[in-house]
Amino acid sequence: MSVSKDVRRGTWCVHLRYRDVSGLARSTTKRGFKTEPEARKWELERLKAVTIPDEINADRFENSGAPGDVPDVG
């Protein structure tokens, strides 16, 4: 997660890195915010949209097979 000033354009941009439901690394960038608070607000909203709730992660591992098996994460 990063909010930075794009000096060349004179606007703010957000670089966001996260893992999707299947565990793959993803990234997204959005530019053109006029103010830093506007960029931070978008960053938080996007994080909420892509974050997997802990309950889903726990269910994924609890129902993964026989006791003692290592869950297949990928």
Tell me the mean pLDDT in the region 9-15: 94
The pLDDT assigned to 10 comes to 94
Is the pLDDT at 71 greater than 80? The verdict is: no
Residue 52 has a pLDDT of: 64
Mean predicted confidence (pLDDT) in 63-67: 55
Q: For 13-52, how does the pLDDT look when each residue is reduced to its tens digit (9 = 90+)?
A: 999 998 887 888 889 999 999 999 999 999 999 988 887 6
Q: Write the DSSP assignment of 33-57 as a string of letters.
A: ESSHHHHHHHHHHHHHHHPPPHHHH
Domain ranges of the chain: 2-54
Identify the bridge partners of residue 33 per DSSP, sorted by sequence position: 12
CB 11 within 8 A of CB 32: yes
